[in-house]
Structure 1
Amino acid sequence: MHIDIDNDACIGAGQCAPAAPGVFTQDDDGFSMLLPGREDGGGDPMVREAARACPVAAITVSETVS
């Protein structure tokens, strides 16, 4: 799984961090960011829910192809 956050689109609504707190956090300005080492989602089943919760669709989750 690959997670991408569009920093230009993110408005800091903060819906992703409570939806998947093991993967997402917010920076000092309130904008979404991935926790270190969680770029692949760490197998957290709530990652897709966090992406759906984003009101501006700033989070994209895609499957990685080997």
Structure 2
Amino acid sequence: MRSINNWRKSSYSGGGDGNNCVEVATRAARFAVRDTKAPARATLTFPPDAFAHFLEGVKSDACR
């Protein structure tokens, strides 16, 4: 698997070192997600439609 270099943190990641969230990167036809506290560990990848549904769920009250 090719290295992903365009990781982005959420603007909601908090102050300090901002390691209380996940990072997201895009690849050809996939989205990758990793834990900011353990970036060398496994990443999850999703096709665009599944990632869109995931984001909708995170933004809704259903996940609270």
> What TM-score comes out, normalization by structure 1 length?
0.29
Higher strand proportion (structure 1 or 2): 2
User: Which one has more relative contact order, counting CA pairs under 8 Å at least 6 apart?
Assistant: 1
Instruction: Select the structure of larger CA radius of gyration.
Output: 2
